[in-house]
């Protein structure tokens, strides 16, 4: 087993401790192991999902719209990635989702958040060649 020495600010440490208590975890170490596992899942998903390069935008998609693909088929068109991801999460919760933008390349974002009324398990989307978790 490898020991990782991680230095964080005191205010971040307090926030992490709050998360540990809210989730009834044994320790902050358990939380950090879970976070690392989550990040590894995201990276593995990104490495194994090469469909984004294969999928081409159909000509009938309007300009400056986001398009969601599940299994290579168009499942939603919207103005924001969140709209498209919401449709995909409701209709195809167990399938990988790829979102493409029919317009000029946009500045990369770190995360997109969706709010669901019920807890859902690991779900990731691929947007502009990057992979993001959908946070319930």
CA distances, 122 to each of 16, 41, 43 (Å): 21, 9, 13
Q: How confident is the model at residue 77 (pLDDT cuts 50, 70, 90)?
A: very high
CB 131, CB 111: distance < 8 Å? no
Q: Report the pLDDT value the prediction gives residue 119, as an integer from 0 to 100.
A: 47
Sign of CA dihedral 5, 7, 11, 12: negative
pLDDT band at 78 (very low <50, low <70, confident <90, very high): very high
Q: How many CB atoms lie within 10 A of CB 126?
A: 21
What is the value of pTM for the model shown? 0.47
């Amino acid at each position: 087993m490898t020991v990782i020495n991680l230095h964080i600010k005191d205010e971040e440490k307090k926030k992490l401790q709050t998360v540990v208590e809210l989730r009834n975890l044994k320790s902050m170490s358990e939380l950090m192991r879970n976070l690392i596992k989550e990040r590894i899942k995201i990276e593995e998903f990104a490495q194994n999902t090469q469909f984004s390069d294969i999928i081409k935008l159909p000509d009938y998609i309007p300009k400056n719209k986001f398009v969601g693909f599940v299994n290579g088929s168009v499942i939603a068109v919207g103005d924001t990635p969140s709209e498209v991801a919401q449709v995909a999460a409701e209709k195809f919760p167990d399938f990988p989702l790829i979102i493409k933008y029919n317009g000029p390349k946009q500045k990369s974002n770190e995360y997109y958040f969706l709010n669901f009324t019920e807890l859902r398990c690991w779900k990731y989307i691929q947007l502009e060649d990057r992979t993001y978790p959908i946070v319930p």
